[in-house]
Amino acid sequence: MSLQTSSEIDIIKAATSKIDQVDFEKLTFGSVFTDHMLVCDFRNGAWEKPVIKPYEPFVLDPSAKVFHYGQAIFEGMKAYKTEDNSVWLFRPEENHLRMNKSAVRMCMPEVPESIFIDGLKELIRLDEAWVKNGKGNTLYIRPFMIAIGSGVIAQPSTQYRFCIILSPAKAYYSGDVKVLIADYYSRAANGGIGAAKAAGNYSGQFYPTQLAHNAGFQQIIWTDDATHTKLEECGTMNVFFRINDTLYTAPTSDRILDGITRKSLIDLAKREGINVDVRPVLVDELVEAAKNGSLKEIFGAGTAAVVNPIVGFQYKDEYFELPKLEKSYATDLKEKLTNIQYKLAEDTFGWTVKI
């Protein structure tokens, strides 16, 4: 699709800020938003001029295709404020690339860098006061695109809206995380949209995850749709397994999201001399490792949670508690990754980008 873009951005500042109404010590993840948002529409085969404006609802026609055919994609990113009060992004080019891969898969227009990256930087500069100092404080960034063209005929929209909204954040999960290994429900299928950050991927998880919650588990480790023998993702995160001193994780595919935290942890682990094996991991293999004591850790990895250790898992009617380790890969890798993100350690990979 041929794109006509402009690097210029209109900025309409909010008359007053709501920042003084926010208790930054008691944030519920993704529930509080900053003063401004970026909005840019795609019409007549081209992207219009982006606008940064006060955060507010917008009006859509009831027949907008996002409501009827689910053309909706999003990304998840974070900004970090360092000890010298500068603000940094972590691998934003990877989010931009993945957003456009999702757009292609969902038959939506790709978003130019001048809108996604340049627009994001300008938005964060305007709302920089919302990025708080201190390790653990972040600004969660949610770029998303929806189909706004009207009409209920089953075909792609010709009009789209790209937005970026910002939310101050602390920890995503709290408390112990126990997981249930799926043996019936599936997250995604071969040839499907599992590798896209499409809204429907997540809504499709809600029901089986609610069943897991009712049974006392916080998340589900998804398995392949055909045989339910291969371990894939954990809830909304990629997942790692430590058996003895080797770290295993499933390869990306049509069913598994190419997580940016995932690939960063793989690179970090290799740098630290940890043996990493990217290959399909079988349920039977995990159960056997739990029984013979060689399973040391399971942890999820994603932008929101960063690294989230899992204390135990259940498969069918059998529950396995994981050992409590004084020094775990999960803790060590999370510390090393967040130190890079907060500029507390040298970024030898060139992952961080200053606002």
Mean pLDDT of each 10-residue bin along the chain, 355 residues long:
54 96 90 97 97 97 97 97 95 97 97 96 97 92 98 96 96 79 92 92 93 95 94 92 97 91 97 97 97 96 90 95 93 96 96 96
CB neighbours of residue 119 within 10 Å:
24
pTM: 0.93
Question: What pLDDT does 53 receive?
Answer: 97
Type of residue found at 351: W
Domain 10-169 class?
A: alpha beta
Three-state SS at 269: helix
Class in CATH terms, 178-338:
alpha beta
Please give the span between the terminal C-alpha atoms of the chain, in angstroms, as a whole number: 30
- What is the pLDDT, as a whole number, of residue 174? 63
**Contact between residue 187 and residue 222 where contact means Cβ atoms under 8 Å apart:** yes
Q: Given this model, what pLDDT does residue 108 score?
A: 98
Spatial separation of the C-alpha atoms in residues 36 and 126, rounded to whole Å: 8
The per-residue pLDDT for 4 is 37
Q: What integer pLDDT is reported at residue 280 of this predicted model?
A: 95
Q: At what angle do helices 260-271 and 92-105 cross, to 10 degrees?
A: 140
**Structure tokens of 276?**
């990493």
Residues of the chain with CATH 3.30.470.10: 10-169
For residue 15, CA distances in Å to 54, 70, 270, 334, 342 come to: 8, 35, 50, 40, 31
In angstroms, the CA 231 to CA 347 distance is 32
Cβ atoms of residues 72 and 147 within 8 Å: yes
pLDDT at 173: 62
